[in-house]
Each structure stands twice: as structure tokens, then as C-alpha cells.
Structure 1
Amino acid sequence: MFVVLAALSLAPRVLTARAEAAAWTAVQTPQHPEPVSHEGGKQGRTGEEEHGSGWLALIAKIVNFSILVFVLVYFLREPVAAHLGSRGTQIRQALVTAADTRAAATRQLAQIEAKLAALPAELEALKVRGAEEIAAEQVRIEQAGQAERQRLLEQARREIETRLRMARRELLEHAANLAVQVASRRIQTTITPDDQARLVDRYTAQLAEANR
């Protein structure tokens, strides 16, 4: 399309330049008088006819070319204008899109630079927070260990106390059995029924105190 437009715009100038060159050549050609003779007259007329035929051919070419240019301009004017308009719209849209893309890229680059600038501070904050969390976890583990140790100690103490109570009770029961046996033997030998009743009461009282 652009080649056709360039050809159409340059065609009138080319034709004008060719016409001016032909006219200038015709003016500059010297006219030498020839001796008048029968054959010379024929040759002069033939030259004039050929010269006139050359001008007619040039004019015919100019007219044909002008008609061709007119036809091309007439039929290609609207398509070329539409194409140029569409192309201009596309170029404007491309420029707008490029400007938007450049602005978006600039904003993204600024954001990335800001993040990179803030990265050392964020890393330092993460390091501090990690150290604090580790220290807190160590304290929690120590506290949990102390609590578990206290729980185990308390459980062992309760078991020991329970075993001591059971051993004491067994000893008391064994001592009571021995006392009963001794008392029974003594009763059988020396103790009167009244003494026997007092011993039973005393033994009952001791058992009651031991079970408290």
C-alpha cells in the first residue's frame, strides 16, 4: 500500500519532468536550412512527421499514465485510507499498551527494590524471633522436666508412705497377735477373768488408735 501511494504521489512529478526535458531538447535542437531539392523536401517532411509522431506518442503515454493514476487513486483511495486509519489506531493502541507496560514494570521494579531494601531488617527480625522462640522452648522443656520430676517424687513419696503404713499395720497386727498369744497363755496360767476382760479392752483400744 505504501509503495502504491509513493508511486501515485511521484507520478505527476515524473511526467512533468519528462515533458519539460522533451520540450527543452526540442528547443535546443538547431534548425539548419537544407538546400531545397526534391529529395530534401521529402526528407524534411519525413523528419517533421516523425517528430510529430514522437510528440503524439509521448502525449498518449502521458494521457494513459494519467488515466491509470486516476483509476488507481479512485479505487484505492478508500481502502488505503481505511488501512492507514486502522494502522494508525493500532499504532496508538500499541503505544498506549507500551506506556502502560512500562509504567507497570516501573512499579514492579520499585516494589522489588523496596522489598530488597527491607530484606536485611526482616531477616534480622526473623533471627531475633527464632532465638526468642528457642529460648522459650528451652524454658518450657525445663519447666516440664521440673514438673515431671516433682510429679515422680510426689508419686514415690506417696508409694513410700503407703508401704510404710502397710508395714506398720502388719507389725501392729503381728505384735497384737503375739500379745494375744502371750496374754492367752498368761491368762490361762495366772490372769483372772477380770484381768482378761481388761486386757481385751486395752487391745481393742490400741487397734482403734492404730487404724486412725
Structure 2
Amino acid sequence: MKIIRGNKRLCFLLVSVLVFALVGGLALNALAAEERKGTSSFKKTWMKVWEVLNFLILAFFVFKLVREPVKNFFQGRTEMFRQKIAEAEGASIEAERELKEVESRFEMLDEEIQRLQQTITGQGERRRDKIISDAEQTAEYMLEKAKIESDMMMREAKIRLRQEVTNEAVRLAEESIKKEIGKKDQERLVDEYLQDLQQVPISSV
């Protein structure tokens, strides 16, 4: 498609050159005829027309030569601006995406903070309950230990008291016996005890 358009432009350019050459040739012939007749007004007019035609031809060729570079330049600039606009739009989209991601992270951070607060609160409650339970168990253990120690002390006190009472009763009984039994009775008791020992078989001792 581009090749066909290029050929059309080339043909148009050649036709234009031929037309201008033909017009120029006719004008030159007319100018020569006028000079032979001795008239010069046509020459002046034709020179002006020819200057205009030369300017138009020059302008046309300049336009043809400059149009493509200028077109390419502006197309390049347009494409560059489009790319920059696309990049700016892409950067804007990326910035929006990053902003949404940051906002999402902040929301997740808030949820994480709330979860941590709940976890810390739950751990604190469980720790408090454990401390209370441990304190109750310790108190029960100490009470039980104190009760056991008290019972042991009571038993030991009763045993010591019983021993003291027994010892005191024995002492009082001995004193009473000593007072009631005379010396002769003591000798008699000793003799009876010795006789009893003599009657006991030796094998049983």
C-alpha cells in the first residue's frame, strides 16, 4: 500500500514538472515573438509570472523535500508524547496499585494489632487464672502441711505429757511405797525375790 502511494506521488511530481516546463516553453516562445514585434509589456508581465511560478515550484519542491522529515519529526514527537503519556498513565496505575497495596497492608496491620491485643489479653487472663490457681494450691498445701505439723506436735506433746505423767506417777508411787514399806519389809521382799530367782531353771534364764 505504501509503495503504491509512493508511485502515485512520483507520477504527480513528474506531471507537474512537465506542465511547468510546457508552460515555460510556451511562455518563452511568446516572449521571443513579442521581442520580434518590439513590445516589452508582455515581457515584464511574464517575468513577474515566471518569478511567481519559480517561487511556487521552489516552494513545492521544498515542501516535498521537507514534508516527510517534518512529518516524521512531528510523528516522532507525537509518538514520544504518547509514550510519555502512556508511561505516566502506567506510573499512575502502578502508584495507585502500590497505594492500594499499602492501604491493604495497613488494614492487615490493624487486624494483626487487634489480634495481638486479643492474644495478649487472653494470655494475661490465663496467666492471672494460673497465678490464682497456683496461689490457691499453695495455700491449700501450706494449710495441709500446717495441719499435719500441728497434729504431729500435738501427738508429740501428748506423748511427752503422758511420759511425764507416768514418770511422775512412778516417782510418787515409789515415794509412797518407800514411806509405807519399812526396812524389814524391804529385806523380806529382797529375800523372796532371790528365792524366786533360785527356783527358776537355769536353762530358762
Common fold by TM > 0.5? no
Determine which structure has more spread, i.e. the larger CA radius of gyration: 2
More contact order relative to length (CA 8 Å, sep ≥ 6): 1
TM-score scaled to structure 2, two decimals?
A: 0.42
